[in-house]
Amino acid sequence: MITNPTKPGPPLRRTADPGTLATMDLLPVAPIETLRKRRSAKWRYHADDMLPLPVAEMDFDLAPPIQAALHDAVERSDAGYPAPVPVLAEALKEFAGRRWGWEIDPAGVTAVTDVGVGVVEILRALARPGDPVVICPPVYPPFFDWVPEAGARLHEVPLVDGRLDLPGLERAFATRPAAFLLCNPHNPVGRVHTPDELAEVVRLATAHAVPVLSDEIHAPLVLPGATFTPILTVPGAAAVAVSLVSTSKAWNLAGLKCGTIVTASPEMAAVVDRLPPDSPWRIGHFGVLASVAAYTEGVSWLDLLLATLDDRRALLGRLLVERLPTVAWRAPEATFLAWLDCTALGAGTEPHELFYERARVALEPGPRFGTEGSGYVRLNFGTSAEILEAAITRMAAA
């Protein structure tokens, strides 16, 4: 039972809509008492009276094939160094080909600790100290840290109404930055960039010789109604772009540390070849095992996850209309993250503080995604219907 601490009342219950939940299988979520026993950051960082919905970590159980692969490894006491074997690249190739029609050459796949490490190391290979790197805020907060970590500086071209500002990118690319760091799909707004938009990015990047680093970590999480386009499937992209992908978001494996860089041309492969030689040895062994299981045996679970997230997205939309109409949003096309516009609450209001202190709901502060995030919060709806409903009820009461 989850109750509202600011307005006691009966326990919240979810009523299935006729013809939907009554006939649809969705992923279950453990009771909140069980979730609180987890030791990951989401459940260890906040007090027990808090509903934690900030960090991009879902509450669903791991896919059974992943559980089996990890159990088998533990039973074998198989917890040594990772083996940079071709099986990871082959598994990614098969998954991407079936899922998106993306033909990957396994020879162009390089394992890295995670997407963030991959971005930083590529930027170190591309940028001289102080060189500009283009990003499009509001965007995933580590983008603001990865660029200076590589010794470069930020050149911001904000989104316009949630979309890439293509004329703004053309002006930025004309200054010959060291790289463009693209978020595809875009976190936090949940935008899935269209093939035409990506084709224009590739055209501009080619014209101005700007490498494109496409963070595609949320690619498997494109929801019903939208279609993902890998950057490397866009004509001409191979010569100027790399893709960074991982199972960490879609299968909830962030703590196992395994990501991949994909190239499709000698030019971009030469850039990745400049990464530290030990890079493939810095991944997690369990991450490799779990990622292979996800790509090869975890697709049915992923499809069920997407149906569940589609249900939660619809539920969140109804709850906002019914209980929190002053908060605006645009339903995301991808991810399990909602970008909530709370500016109607009043100028100068920091909504994450309001909801944290008075509602005991932890959300990601909008300003972390750039100055364009002022007045916004990011909410993680990758959880149970009960927790989601309780969170919105608390927020409405606050």
| Mean of pLDDT values over 140-162 | 98
Tens-digit pLDDT profile for residues 96-107: 999 999 999 999
Asked whether residue 230 falls in the same domain as residue 276, the answer is yes
Nearest Cα to 378, choosing from 47, 52, 36? 52
Q: Same domain, yes or no, for 189 and 313?
A: no
Any domain includes 260? yes
User: Looking at the whole model, is its pTM more than 0.75?
Assistant: yes
Higher pLDDT, 36 or 11: 36
- How many Cβ atoms are within 10 Å of 43's Cβ, its own excluded? 18
Q: Does 161 share its domain with 268?
A: yes
- Say how far residue 252 (Cα) sits from the centre of its chain: 10
| Tokens standing for residue 165 | 């500002």
Mean pLDDT for the stretch of residues 154-176: 98
State the pLDDT confidence band at 18, using cuts at 50, 70 and 90: very low
pLDDT recorded at residue 24: 54
- pLDDT tens, position by position, 207-218: 999 999 999 999
Q: How confident is the model at residue 25 (pLDDT cuts 50, 70, 90)?
A: confident
Query: Are 306 and 237 in the same domain?
Result: no
CA dihedral 197, 243, 379, 343 (to 10 degrees): -40
Q: What is the CATH number of the domain that holds 227?
A: 3.40.640.10
- In a domain, residue 108? The reply is yes
121/184 same-domain check: yes
2 inside domain = no
Q: Which residue bears the tokens 């600790």?
A: 113
pLDDT tens-digit profile of 296-353?
999 999 999 999 999 999 999 999 999 999 999 999 999 999 999 999 998 767 899 9
Q: What is the pLDDT of residue 5?
A: 41
User: Which whole-number Å values give the CA distances from 43 to 50, 58, 113, 218, 335, in the listed order?
Assistant: 9, 11, 23, 22, 20
For residues 202 and 279, membership in a common domain is answered with yes
How many domains is the chain built from?
2
One domain, residues 219 and 232: yes
Does the pLDDT at position 197 exceed 50? Answer: yes
| Final residue of a structural domain among 297, 331, 349 | 297
pLDDT surpassing 50 at residue 22: no
pLDDT at 85: 76
Q: Are residues 161 and 289 in the same domain?
A: yes
252 part of a folded domain: yes
Q: Are residues 362 and 262 in the same domain?
A: no
pLDDT of 2 over the 80 cut: no
pLDDT at 47 over 70: yes
Domain that holds residue 311: 32-60+299-397
Do residues 126 and 178 make contact, with C-beta atoms less than 8 angstroms apart? yes
Query: End of a domain among 297, 320, 349?
Result: 297
**Residue 232 pLDDT grade (very low, low, confident, very high; cuts 50, 70, 90):** very high
Strands 337-341 and 153-156: unpaired
pLDDT of residue 217: 98
Q: What is the mean pLDDT of the chain?
A: 93
The fraction of the chain above a pLDDT of 90, given in percent, is 90
> 47: domain CATH number?
3.90.1150.10
| Residue 172 in domain | yes
Q: Final residue of a domain: which of 277, 297, 317? A: 297
pLDDT class of 360 with cuts at 50, 70, 90? very high
**Residues 44-61: what's their mean pLDDT?**
95
Residues 101, 208: one domain?
A: yes
Residues 193 and 309 in one domain: no
Tell whether 282 and 319 lie within a shared domain: no
